[in-house]
Each structure stands twice: as C-alpha cells, then as structure tokens.
Amino acid sequence: MIRAGIVGGTGYTGVELLRILALHPEVEVAAVTSRADAGQRVDKTYPSLRGLCDAVFSPPEFDNLADCDVVFFATPNGTAMNMATDLLARGIKIIDLSADFRIKDIEEWEKWYGMSHASPDLVAEAVYGLPEINREAIKQARLIACPGCYPTAVQLGFLPLLEAGVIDAGHLIADAKSGVSGAGRKAEIPSLMSEAGESFKAYGVPGHRHLPEIKQGLQLATGQNIGLTFVPHLTPMIRGIHATLYARLTGEVDLQGLFEQRYQNEYFVDVLPAGSHADTRNVRGSNRCQIAVHQPQGGDTVVILSVIDNLVKGASGQAVQNMNLMFGLRENQGLETVALYP
Ligand SMILES: NC(=O)C1=CN([C@@H]2O[C@H](COP(=O)(O)OP(=O)(O)OC[C@H]3O[C@@H](n4cnc5c(N)ncnc54)[C@H](OP(=O)(O)O)[C@@H]3O)[C@@H](O)[C@H]2O)C=CC1
Ligand SMILES: CC(=O)N[C@@H](CCC(=O)OP(=O)(O)O)C(=O)O
C-alpha cells in the first residue's frame, strides 16, 4: 500500500482528497495535518468519513509526515515551498495542489503571488501536473505542481486548436465562471451566502494570477506565443467551473473531428456530441472534463465550452491522477466515479 500524507486536511481540497483516497485500493492515509484540529479524529470533523478513515489530525510538522511515500499539499500558497526540500531529501514524493511550483519564472511568480519564493531551485525540477500534456514526465517526477482549477479547464479547451495551428494564438479569450468552493473553506465575506447567493460578478479583470499560468502552460505545450484575455467570474453554485473560450480560426478545419481525435485516448476528457452544451452538473463529483465545440453560424470564431468540478479535475482528483502515474498504477484507479446528478 502507498502511504499518503495530506497537509491541510481540513480544507475543501483536503477533504476531497480524503474522500477519494478512502476508497482507493492502493492507498492508506497515513497522516493528515491541521493546526486548528490537531489531536481530533478526522471523522469527527468530517462525519462523512466515519468507518472509512481512522486518522487523527496532527500538526503540519516533518516528523508527522516522515513515514509517508507521498505527501499532498492542500494548503495555501507559500506553505509547500517551505517544507518540500526536507521531504524530498527523505525520498518522499510531493504533489502540491497550491501554486508554489507552477510558474517557472520566479520573478513572475513573486509578482503575482506577492511573496518571495523560499525554494526557487525546486521550481525548475517540478513537473506541471496536467497529464493530458505531461504524462511521461509525471511518471518520472518526484515533485508535481498541480494546475490551478481555471487553468485546467482553459488549457484543455484550447490545446487541440493550438496544437493543430488552426487559431490565432495571439488573441485568445477565456470567460470563466467558478463556484464558491474555489475560494476555499476559510471565512471570507465574498464567500458568504448573502454575498455570493443570488448574484453574479466578474473579478480580477485587470489581471488574475491564473493568467501567467495558463499562458505558460499553453506556450510550453505548443511552442506558440500566447495572447490571452482571461476574466473569471464568481457564480452562486458550490462546485464547478464553466469556461467559455473564444478564438479566431485561421483556416478550414473539422473542429469536432479535431477534438475527438485529440482526446480519443484520454479517459478524463470527454468530447460531447456536436451541438451539445456542456453543463457543470454533468461533471460534479467526477474527475472528468467535458468539452463542447461550436462554430456559430459557420463564421470564423470558434467557441469551446469546457466544464470541470474545480475540486476534482480542478484539484484533488487531478492530484490523485498524478499520484497514480507516479506510482505506476492505472491512471484512473480510485477515480472512476460517476458525476452526481442533479
Ligand atoms: N478550492 C479549489 O477549488 C482549489 C484550490 N486549489 C489550491 O489548493 C490549495 C488548498 O485550497 P483549499 O482546500 O480550497 O483551501 P482551504 O482554505 O479550504 O484549506 C486550507 C488548508 O490548509 C491548512 N493550512 C492553512 N495554512 C497552513 C499553513 N501555514 N501550514 C499548514 N497548513 C495550513 C488549513 O488547516 P489549518 O489552518 O487547520 O492548518 C486547511 O486545512 C490552495 O493553494 C488553493 O489555491 C487548487 C485548485 C482548486
Ligand atoms: C472562486 C475563487 O475565488 N477561485 C479562486 C481560485 C482559487 C484556486 O483554486 O487557486 P489555485 O488554483 O491557484 O490554487 C480565485 O480566483 O482565487
């Protein structure tokens, strides 16, 4: 059995990892940390796990994680970068759900994240954990930077078009909407039901920290200079991201065929039949990204609809998909759940 540790087990992505790993046949959850709940049984904080998890929260310290084979960081930005070196030196693999190792340009990272980087040397080594691009590198990696939630939905939607060279890469538009669980479990006024409920708003229009991540990811994967306008929105649902992507076509192409071919061997990317409208409810609780392809009125604008569950394919499910690859397991092991409907 793989001994897994979770740093930040009380947060939304932490408990989602616990939910997935509780039924994973090859994994034993050996350590779960929380500062606030240290000493308390995990299933007291989360009764949904009663009978499935007998772990007790411990403080996020090296000694409590030292017997793990892999440690997931489900923590705010700036945490994993301070603990990674010691864990790696002990031979423990790391899967970081935060942004600490995602951006290769350290100055750029420091600008967007507003802090200095504690382990710049590890950034070069980290593998960006989007399996649909980096599968072979992930299998060899000891440090994974899991993609952000918006970057997962946006990159999977644009990739086939950029790889085929059929759109103007300099003028992409991503109009994305997220449920409130994307902001995490911490108490914050914008996440209150009376603030986010019955309301809908854009935020981060002048610049959101996922912009450099998406541009870097698409640039590295396709070798093209990417120009992107990215506008996130907060929508009054709990889980889900819906990205509506726009690009100008530069030639004639069978768009539906292009997407179906690109993702024909990808278990977690489902290209919907022509004419479909992707809907977040069809991926809620599952590790799937569903994509619909449109060319309105046969014009020169392609519109891609890409939906994921931000906590699963956008975070913890993708993290487990990476773990499966790193440990030579079947990529979809423990992740074959069907979406919850409605
Ligand atoms: N929510 C989402 O949809 C997504 C989130 N992410 C990223 O995943 C990470 C976790 O997100 P999320 O689960 O939403 O966050 P939450 O705010 O819900 O949870 C954060 C967790 O980290 C722990 N924690 C906080 N500060 C520290 C610290 N300094 N040292 C150790 N543990 C700490 C908290 O427990 P305690 O304070 O008790 O220690 C808590 O368990 C973030 O980096 C986020 O950006 C990525 C993709 C999607
Ligand atoms: C709705 C909401 O607030 N979403 C978050 C996305 C958070 C997230 O998951 O950030 P990382 O993927 O970079 O870790 C935000 O826009 O800040």
Measured CA to CA in angstroms, residue 40 lies from 36, 43, 46, 49, 50 at distances of: 9, 9, 11, 14, 13
Q: In the structure, what pLDDT confidence band is assigned to residue 342 with cuts at 50, 70 and 90? A: confident
CA angle 260, 263, 267 (to 5 degrees): 125
**In this predicted model, what pLDDT tens digit does every residue of 220-229 receive, in sequence order?**
999 999 999 9
Q: How far is the CA of 76 from the centre of ligand 1 (A)?
A: 4
Nearest residue (by CA) to ligand 1, atom 3, is 182
Query: In this prediction, what percent of the chain has a pLDDT beyond 90?
Result: 99
Tell whether the model's pLDDT for residue 56 goes beyond 90.
yes
Q: Assign domain 149-309 to its CATH architecture.
A: 2-Layer Sandwich (3.30)
Measured CA to CA in angstroms, residue 217 lies from 141, 148, 223 at distances of: 17, 11, 10
Question: Of 68, 146, 149, 289, which is the active-site residue?
Answer: 149
Q: What is the CATH number of domain 2-125?
A: 3.40.50.720
> Three-state SS for 337?
coil
Show the beta-strand stretches assigned E in 272-331: 289-294, 301-308
Tell whether the model's pLDDT for residue 265 goes beyond 90.
yes
Nearest residue (by CA) to ligand 1, atom 12, is 184
- The residue type found at 45 is T
**Best substitution site from 128, 144, 178, 239 to test ligand 2's pocket, by max atoms within 8 Å of Cβ?**
178
Beta bridge partner(s), residue 69? none
Total Cβ atoms within 10 A of residue 79: 18
68 is catalytic: no
Whole-number Å distance between alpha carbons of 14 and 40:
15
Whole-number Å distance between alpha carbons of 38 and 310:
27
Domain boundaries, the chain: 2-125, 149-309
ipTM over 0.95: yes
Q: How far is the CA of 159 from the centre of ligand 1 (A)?
A: 28
Strand 301-308 and strand 241-248: the pairing is antiparallel
